[in-house]
Each structure stands twice: as C-alpha cells, then as structure tokens.
Amino acid sequence: MHRGPLSHLCPWRPCLPFRHRSASRLPLLDHQVHHHHLLRLIPTSLASIRAEYGRIGRKTCEGGKGVEEGGPVWQGGGMHRREKLLYAIARDQRGVFTLAQAEACGLPRRTVAGRVVQGLYDVIHPGVYGLAGSDDTWMQAVIGAVLSASEPAAASHQTAARLWGMADRKPGIIEVVSRRHLRVKRDRFTVHESKDLAEHDIVQLDGVSVTTAARTVVDLGASAPSWVVEKCLDTGLRKRLFTIWDVHRFMCRVARPGRTGIGTIRPLVEERLTWQAITESDLEDLFRKIVASSSYPMPDTQHRLLDAEGTFVGRFDFAYPSRLAIIETDSEGFHMDPVSFQRDREKQNRAHALGWTVYRVTWRQLIDDPDSVLQIIAAIWED
C-alpha cells in the first residue's frame, strides 16, 4: 500500500544523498562529515549520537531559523534541524525510525506523539514509527520488525535467506532473531529467541541488520522444510556467500541438545564435506545429487586432465580417473555459444586420443530422466 508521495510533506532538500552506500562513495564537505558519521551511528550508539549531535552546526541542513520544539514541523519551506536529522535517518531506514532514535535527535516523546496525532508519523510497532507518505514495502516491514525487537536483533531464517538471495520468494511471515524478546499481542512477525546470538553473527545488508549467510542457513532448519534448507545451502555455496567449512564451523559452535535447525543442516553439511570441490552450475549440483542417491562413488569434480608430458588438456565437470571416464553436463544456457561449443569439442577429442571416454549428460536427462544418468554411471563401473 502506498500512503502518498513524500514531496507534499517535505519541501526541503537534504544536504546529503540519503543512501548511505552512495554517500560513502562521495567526497564530503567539512560540515557534512559529522552528519555522515551520525547516520552511521544512529542505530547502534545513542550516547555517541548525542555527542555528535552537539557538534553539528546549523549549516548542516537548509531551512533557515527553524522552529521551537513542539511547534509545527514545516514552517516557511523549512524544518527544524532536529526534525531534518531524524528524517534523514528514517529515509536511510526506508522511512522507519524508533522512539529512541527520535529522542537522540532531540525530539521528546510528547513531540513524536503529537506528530502521530497530526498524521505525520504512523505507528508501525510499539516504539517504532514510519514517515507518513513512505512506501509500505516488504523491506520496510522487515526493518520495522528488526527495530522493534530487543537488541541485538536481526532479520533471520527465511527472511534472511531471501535478503541474501538464497531463496527466490519473500516468505509469508517475517522472522527476526533476538537473544530475548518481550512479546506483545500486536506482533505481526515471528521472533526466535537465541542465546547463542553474538554481535559478529549480525551484518548490515542493504540497510538491514541480518544474520550472516552461514548462520542463516543453519537457523533455516527451524522454520523451513529440509528441501528448502538444501536448496539455500547449495545456492549459498554456488554464490560464494560462504564455504561449506564456514557453515560447519558455525554449526559446531552452536550445536547442543535441543538447538533447532542443527538436525536438518548436519547431514547436508556432512554430505558436502565429502565432495572435493564446489561446482558452479545448477546442472552440476543436480548431477551430484543424483549420484549421491545411488550406491556409486562420487566422481572427482572440475577434473584437470594432463597429457603424458604434463600439458594441460582441459578441465572437465566430472571424472572417474581409475575408469578413464569423463562426464560433462550440457545445457543450452551454459554451452550453446559458438566459442564454448568449439572449445568443448576440441578438448573432448584430445581426451579421446588419450584413451578417455567422454559421456555427455543433458539438462533434460537430469530433470526428466535421472534413471538414464544412473545407467551411464553403472556402465562406467560395470565395464
């Protein structure tokens, strides 16, 4: 739901780009440095905010003389500098801010309450507000949920998996993790309490506090079926969000009787620890799953073939060196350009000349006829 444009509520112009990531790449004027630093500190250190706030002069923001505390927000095309500072913070958080952040900027509780009555602020959660006119998006809802939870808190589980790009769809329920959360009836999200949540388990991703990718995939087993966990694990490995050893180390750190998520992720991690390399395409991942479902051994991955003189012949998707067998996975999406096609056929011919047999497995076989793939593996080992 869109509550209307911001422009009719805010005639002033900020002196900094609101996006923290963009601002960090731009040269800052002397009077902007403190403002930039303040935006970075707001969510984490209220004492630092107050210290920094006292050093920011009126030149930091436009708007003339401003107004007295408790007076109207907009006056003469300008806004009090405290209101402007809060507005900048909220924009960096997709229109959301907390009462603590407002008070750190110099706006007391009664002023915030007055803005709510005037329709300038919306109450999102107890102690969490949104600027009227900001887009009511899923990302805004995630930030609001995180800010309303007891610190330290972060987006987690299926919500974090979506933020990291490991999941394709936004989950129906927003999930947050916190060490301890005082639940209220109006909570519109799920909070997982976790005593093993450490500060270094939380990172900033696109302006949102989120659990690290390794923690996310371990926690995921507490709220998602095993096939979702497996898909997210393989996607994270393929995107290099973590290594399988990163996930294993975190799993060992938090594993204890009754710890949710461990029972789902442990067999998936242990299985992948036996794999000698991480492949880069969906077809290769699928091929490995098919082989893993059988009694046949896992082939070497990304096998480097050398001739008798040690000259590099090529790199192949899979190989059983003891059987002089190579398996290549084919797909239009990966191998149809002329250069790749020519290169693949040249290295295949060189492998044939060295006595190797090259088998090609297509995407359609992997999806529609996995038994035919196992027949190829059987032929390799039964010859």
DSSP code string of 125-163:
ETTEEEETTSB--HHHHHHHHHHHSPSSEEE-HHHHHHH
Closest to 78 measured CA to CA, from 144, 150, 154, 15? 15
Q: In what order do the strands lie in the sheet with 175-178?
A: 190-193, 175-178, 153-155, 208-211, 202-205
- Cis-peptide, bond into residue 27, ω within 30° of zero: no
Q: How many alpha carbons lie under 13 Å from residue 230 in its C-beta half-sphere? A: 14
Q: What is the rounded (10 degree) CA torsion for 176, 181, 183, 187?
A: -20
Element (H, E) at 175: strand 175-178
Contacts of 294 (CB under 8 A, 6+ apart): 374, 377
The residue behind tokens 């003469």 is: 76
Phi, psi of 2 (to 5 degrees): -105, 125
pLDDT per residue rounded down to tens, the chain (383 residues): 444 443 333 333 333 333 333 333 333 333 333 333 333 334 444 455 444 444 433 333 333 333 333 333 333 334 577 777 777 777 777 778 887 888 788 778 888 887 888 777 878 788 788 777 777 788 888 888 888 887 888 999 999 999 999 998 898 888 999 887 666 555 678 888 888 888 899 998 888 899 999 999 999 988 899 999 999 998 998 888 998 889 999 998 988 887 878 888 999 998 888 664 445 567 788 899 999 999 999 999 989 999 988 889 988 999 999 999 999 987 544 444 566 677 778 888 999 999 999 999 987 788 788 999 999 999 999 87
Q: How far is CA 97 from CA 88, 144, 206, 305, in A?
A: 10, 8, 16, 58
Whole-model pTM: value is: 0.55
Beta strand spans in 206-337 (E): 208-211, 300-306, 312-320, 325-330
Element (H, E) at 352: helix 338-353
CA-to-CA distance for 156 and 125, rounded, in angstroms?
18
Going from the N-terminus, what domains does the chain have, and what CATH number goes with each? 20-133 (no CATH), 139-273 (no CATH), 282-382 (3.40.960.10)
